[in-house]
């Protein structure tokens, strides 16, 4: 059994955090995390995501009145060393005075597990993270990716009730980030552990989260599955923070939204709409002879191999972003007709 104990459900009730200098890091927050679920806290720096994680971990106590429950049991005043949660940090936080194996076995030795069992569990963990050959290395002999694998193995070795990850991939370069993200994903699935993952990277959040909690200025902006958050953002902040959002300003009348560059047929258009939003994948360059609802000129075109990213000027404050898979060149200043899929339109 490589897994952990029974996964725990976590609930926050009325958890706020005000620091000693009076800064409000977190507005009162209620949140229920199901057992075995991976929840991602996503937001820009200073949004309160790390503070929330630290409250769950037991490294911070919420302001008076706030409660943290593990499987319904109040753990608010239980210090972290008694909560049995695994933590993974952006800076790895490996013990420099111990080997890789020493780090992974540390939590077990603290629990006074017999040496033979520690050894067995450590080699099991190292094998699982594919770092068996590093067992006797010193920490300063490891690359960043290897360090984070050691940190994951160390956190999981003690069979924690929940795994808390604070920006674990942020310090790694892009390619390594992708590989390790896949590994973390399969790890969390196979362990079935309750996991909380803090990041400012929306791609990581979308890939890993069963649910995403988008945070802004110490408040929750939206909670939902990645698809819901992407397709139905609740606020302008969420719409802008996650993915790319195009906007057109104008007026709606009789199921048609009119703007500077043309008119978009949208039968459900609310009469009060003065701005519509849509994703790059819901707009395309119209083929010759096809009806185009908007006219624009190409401001810039970036050939990315599998597609071309176009920035098309339509007389708005910002050019529209369009991903074209057409096998053709786009010239700067070229006039293009655009077709919009009304199913992707949003008003916020």
Partner 1 sequence: MRNELRRLIFLLLPAGIFFAGFFLLPMARLFFIGGSGKTGWAAYAAILTDSNYFNSLLSTLAVAAATTAATLIISGISGVFLQRNRFPGNGMLVAMLTFPLAFPGVVIGFMVIMLAGRQGLIGQVTQALTGEKLVFAYTLSGLFMGYVYFSIPRTILTVMAAAEKLDPKLEEAARSLGASPWRVVLDVIIPGLKPAFISAGAICFATAVGAFGTAFTLAAKINVLPMVIYTEFTLSANIAMAAALSFVLGAVTWIVLALARTAAGSSVAAAG
List of residues contacting partner 1 (CB under 8 A): 57, 59, 79-82, 84-87, 89, 91, 93-99, 102, 106-107, 110-111, 138-140, 151, 154-155, 158, 164
Q: How far is the CB of 188 from partner 1 (least distance, A)?
A: 17
Q: Which two tokens stand for residue 14?
A: 């009325």
Judged by beta carbon, residue 91 or residue 274, the one nearer partner 1 is 91
Separation of alpha carbons 257 and 294, rounded Å? 11
Residue 81 vs 329, nearer CB to partner 1: 81
* Cα(275)–Cα(252) distance, integer angstroms: 9
Backbone angles phi, psi at 239, to 5 degrees: -60, -40
> Angle at Cα 133 formed by Cα 130 and Cα 136, nearest 5°?
125
Nearest residue to 212 (alpha-carbon basis) of 13, 31, 22, 28: 31
Q: Toward partner 1, which CB reaches closer, 91 or 331?
A: 91
Ramachandran quadrant class, 110 (left: phi over 0; alpha: psi -120 to 50; beta: rest): alpha
Q: What's the min distance (Å) between Cβ of 111 and partner 1?
A: 6
Which residue, 110 or 265, has its beta carbon nearer to partner 1? 110
The CA distance from 323 to 307, in Å, is 6
- Total count of residues recorded for the chain: 348
Helical residues (DSSP H) of the chain, grouped into ranges = 49-57, 100-110, 115-128, 144-157, 174-191, 202-208, 226-231, 236-241
Cβ proximity to partner 1, 125 vs 238, nearer residue: 125
Helix (H, G, I), strand (E, B) or coil at 225: coil
The two tokens of residue 212 are 């995403």
CB atoms < 10 A from the CB of 207, how many? 15
CB of 344 to partner 1, least distance (A): 43
Question: How far, in Å, CA of 88 to CA of 199, rounded?
Answer: 12
Query: Rounded to the nearest whole angstrom, what is the least distance from the CB of residue 206 to partner 1 in the complex?
Result: 27
Q: How far is the CB of 198 from partner 1 (least distance, A)?
A: 14
Task: Name the minimum Å distance from CB 220 to partner 1.
Answer: 25
**Which CB, 80 or 286, lies closer to partner 1?**
80
Q: How far is the CB of 17 from partner 1 (least distance, A)?
A: 16
The residue (of 97 and 288) whose beta carbon lies closer to partner 1 is 97
């Amino acid at each position: 059994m490589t897994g952990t104990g029974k996964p725990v459900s976590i609930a926050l009730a009325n958890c706020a955090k005000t620091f000693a200098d009076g800064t409000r890091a977190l507005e009162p927050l209620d949140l229920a995390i199901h057992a075995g679920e991976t929840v991602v806290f996503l937001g820009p720096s200073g949004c309160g995501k790390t503070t929330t994680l630290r409250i769950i971990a037991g490294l911070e106590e919420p302001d008076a009145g706030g409660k943290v429950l593990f499987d319904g049991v109040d753990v608010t005043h239980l210090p972290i060393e008694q909560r049995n949660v695994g933590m993974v940090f952006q800076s790895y936080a490996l013990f420099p005075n111990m080997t890789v194996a020493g780090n992974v076995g540390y939590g077990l030795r603290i629990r006074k597990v017999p040496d033979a069992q520690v050894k067995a569990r450590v080699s099991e963990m190292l094998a699982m993270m594919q770092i068996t050959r590093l067992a006797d290395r010193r920490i300063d002999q490891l690359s960043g990716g290897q360090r984070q694998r050691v940190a994951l193995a160390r956190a999981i070795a003690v069979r924690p009730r929940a795994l808390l990850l604070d920006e674990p991939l942020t310090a790694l370069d892009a390619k390594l980030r992708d590989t390790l993200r896949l590994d973390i994903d399969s790890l969390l699935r196979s362990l079935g552990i309750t996991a909380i993952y803090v990041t400012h990277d929306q791609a990581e959040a979308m890939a890993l989260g069963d649910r995403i909690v988008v945070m802004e200025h110490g408040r929750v902006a939206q909670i939902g599955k990645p698809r819901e958050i992407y397709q139905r953002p609740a606020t302008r902040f969420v719409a802008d923070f996650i993915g790319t959002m195009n906007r057109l300003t104008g007026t709606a009348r009789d199921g048609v939204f009119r703007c500077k560059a043309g008119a978009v047929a949208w039968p459900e258009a609310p009469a009060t709409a003065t701005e519509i939003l849509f994703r790059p994948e819901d707009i395309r360059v119209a083929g010759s002879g096809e009806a185009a609802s908007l006219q624009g000129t190409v401001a810039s075109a970036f050939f990315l191999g599998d597609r071309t990213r176009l920035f098309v000027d339509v007389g708005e404050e910002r050019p529209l972003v369009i991903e074209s898979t057409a096998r053709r060149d786009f010239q700067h200043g070229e006039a293009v007709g655009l077709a919009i899929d009304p199913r992707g339109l949003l008003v916020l």
